[in-house]
Structure 1
Amino acid sequence: MTAEHLLRTLPAPADLRAQCRAMAAAEAVLNPDGYRYHAFDPAWAEGVEAYSLRNGAGDECDAVFSPEGVLLRGFDHESPMSPYVEDRPWPGVLDSVPAPLARWTAEPAFTADGMPAFTFCLWREPGDDGWRTGEIDYPGGDPAEDGSGWLLHLLADGGPEAFRDWAQHYYDRPVDLAAVRALFGGSPLTPGIAAALHAGLAFDRAAAAVAAAGWPVGD
């Protein structure tokens, strides 16, 4: 999967946001106290929400949901398109980002020592009928070099089954598909869903973990 393929397969912003929130909520129950791969901040900035992916090995992905649109950025630390290869962002990655969204390319959370940490960037403004990315001359002509295919594959694949498969591999334990489906369907966290995802976890701990991500809690 490449950035060009992602332009056709990524969900629309509202669906993407719902999916990001559901993944973060499900993982918050699976792992309420430890380091998490997926997170969602409903108050990342004034009027702005953000999803983040951190794999603990230096690779990153973020989605910024703002009134001006959505910016998707990622950094594959092994990509030949890393800005640290030639001390500048790879040509084309950030050059065409529209002005209302370009401010996020200098966001401190997405930079290191003043360098924008991007190997790919996609965006969608209100009114756009699809995702966009820059005109890029990829190394060796291979769009897969930017890392977007593997960093965004869960968002592109979508659905609870893809997340369940990822979670079972990542946490090396069974993950209840019905419970994941309930969260992906927008259900508030209930004691039954929490117990199915994490047997023996006190519901108040699960509820606090998902509430921090802005997820509703039911009875």
Structure 2
Amino acid sequence: MQADVGVCLVCAPGESDGAGWLFGMLTDGSAEAVSSDAEDYDDRPVDRRAVAAILAGAPLDRRTVRALDPAADFEATADRTRLLGYAMADA
């Protein structure tokens, strides 16, 4: 998926513009960056191999779902995943 984004950022002289923090995820889509961002957001560890598999387009399977959220309802996740058009592994 591709999207166009317009941004206007104003900062005072001598202040950091915050671009590294604000746009880091957009400019570095590596598994390490995505995992780190998710860990900061959710305040818990995130399985980097599972993130890397999703970023590589691997079909979603039970192991990946469990690695990312052990409490997730796999069938509900699979239904939503199919609706979004993402590939599911045979389960």
Which TM-score applies when normalising by structure 1?
Answer: 0.35
Structure 1 pair 143–175 and aligned structure 2 pair: CA distance change class (3 A)? closer
Aligned-pair Cα RMSD in Å: 2.7
1:156-167 aligned at under 5 Å gives the runs 156-167=27-38
- Counterpart for residue 205 of structure 1: 76
Shift of 1:74: 3.8
- Long gaps (5+) in structure 2: none
* Alpha-carbon distance in structure 1 between the residues aligned to 2:37 and 2:60: 21
Shift of 1:152: 1.7
Higher relative contact order, structure no. (Cα contacts within 8 Å, ≥ 6 residues apart): 1
Greater strand fraction, Structure 1 or Structure 2 = 1
- Secondary structure of 1:152 counterpart: helix
- Counterpart for residue 136 of structure 1: none
Shift of 1:202: 1.8
* Alpha-carbon distance in structure 2 between the residues aligned to 1:74 and 1:183: 28
Percentage identity across paired residues of the two chains: 32
- Secondary structure of 2:6 counterpart: strand
Shift of 1:159: 0.5
Shift of 1:148: 4.2
1:1-219 aligned at under 5 Å gives the runs 17=1, 64=3, 71-74=4-7, 79-80=9-10, 140=13, 144=17, 148-219=19-90
Which TM-score applies when normalising by structure 2?
Answer: 0.76
Looking at CA atoms only, which structure, 1 or 2, has the larger radius of gyration? 1
Aligned residues: 90
* Alpha-carbon distance in structure 1 between the residues aligned to 2:19 and 2:6: 9
